[in-house]
Structures are given as C-alpha cells and as structure tokens.
Amino acid sequence: MKPRSHPTDQTSLSLIQRLRNNDDTGWQRLNELYRPLIHYWCRKNQLSESDAEDLTQEVLAIVSAKIDSFQHGSDKDTFRGWLRVITRNQVLMHLRTSKNSPQGIGGTTVLGWINNIPANGEESEEIDQQTQNTEQQILFQKSLELIQSEFETSTWTAFIQTAIDGRTTANVAADLGLSNGAVRTARYRVLRRLRSEFGDVLN
C-alpha cells in the first residue's frame, strides 16, 4: 500500500514556491487544478464558451507574470481569492469592451452584468455559501484526480470510502480484507500527499 513514485523530486516545496521558481511541473499542476475553476467563474458571468476559454488563458498568463506579488498574510489572503480578483478584473474589462464594440451584445444586458461585478475588482464582503461550496468542490475533485494515479487501487479505495463516503474504518477494512491500521494509514497517506501538493492553493 505504498504510494507510487512521483515524477518530480520537488514535491516537498509548496506549489506557490515551485511557481516562483518557474518550475514547469508546478505550472502544469496549477493549470490542471485551476483552469476549470477560472472557466467556471467566467461562465458564471455570462461569457460565451469561446470567450471563457480565451479569458481563462489570459488569467493564467497574468498569474504567471504576477505570482511574486501574491502574499498569503492571513486567512483572508487566500490564493483562490487573489485569483478570483484577477479573473473579475479581466471579465470586467472584457464586458466593457463588448459594450463599446459595434459587434457587441446588447448594451443593457452587458451593463447589468458589469453592475454585478464588484468595483475595482475588489472582493465582495461575503460570497454566498453555495458558491463557496461549488468552488471548493471543483478544486477538491480536480486535486484528487491529479494524484489518484500515484496510489495503489486498495489505498485509494480505502481513502475514498473513509474520507469521502464517510464509512467506518472497520467496515472498509472488512470489505477490502485489510487491517484497521492499514485503512487508517491509507487515508493518512493520501491526505498527506494532497496537503503537500496543493495545501497552499486549495483554500
């Protein structure tokens, strides 16, 4: 039940530090993890599929240029919040351009969308719980997909059934033919790997 070997020896570094070191595997991880969420934010602001794809790429390019400016100084200064502000700024700029373009969609409609985006790209005081849950689910699901191949099937199944499905250790151990300790170890190993790879960008 040992995790399979990981393709990089930099997993002890936080993902943000790997980005600042311009590590290619770090940027690949960030792209795989956050692209779906950025795309979700863009689509939630009524952008078309093609525009959402274009803006997602623009946001990732900005993150690449400005990663050194991100400061995780408190619980409020999360990477997700920083990325959301960048995305909102780009969406707002896009909608304003669309409003002023002769080929743009209806001005009244665009104005309504613009008015629903916080001024100056600032975070709103509160983000509704449903939105937070959706964002967290997108990130968590994707992060699990990215590390699943590193573990044996029995390890992964023990983790999913205890940590995600909420089954008891004893029941899972009996079903998988493992000891209770082996099931607890499997859960710990996957959670440790998840935290070491994405712990600084999942909040």
pLDDT tens for residues 157-169?
999 999 999 999 9
> How confident is the model at residue 77, as a pLDDT?
74
* Euclidean distance between CA atoms 154 and 186, whole angstroms: 8
Residue 50 exposed, middle or buried by CB count within 10 Å (0-12, 13-18, 19+)? exposed
Do both 155 and 124 map to the same domain? no
Do both 104 and 173 map to the same domain? no
> How confident is the model at residue 7, as a pLDDT?
37
CB of 191 closer than 8 Å to CB of 151: no
pLDDT in tens, 136-150: 889 999 999 999 999
Region 48-75: what's the mean pLDDT? Answer: 88
What does the chain come to in residues?
203
133 assigned to some structural domain = no
Q: How confident is the model at residue 3 (pLDDT cuts 50, 70, 90)?
A: very low
Do both 56 and 91 map to the same domain? yes
- Is 5 a residue whose pLDDT tops 90? no
Q: How many domains does the chain have?
A: 2
- Indicate the pTM of the whole model: 0.72
CB of 85 closer than 8 Å to CB of 127: no
56 assigned to some structural domain = yes
Q: Between 98 and 182, whose confidence is greater?
A: 182
Do both 88 and 160 map to the same domain? no
Region 79-103: what's the mean pLDDT? Answer: 82
Percentage of the chain modeled with pLDDT above 90: 54
Q: Which domain holds residue 51?
A: 15-128
- Is 201 a residue whose pLDDT tops 70? yes
Do both 36 and 104 map to the same domain? yes
Rounded alpha-carbon distances, angstroms, from residue 14 to 72, 74, 125, 150, 201: 12, 17, 28, 18, 9
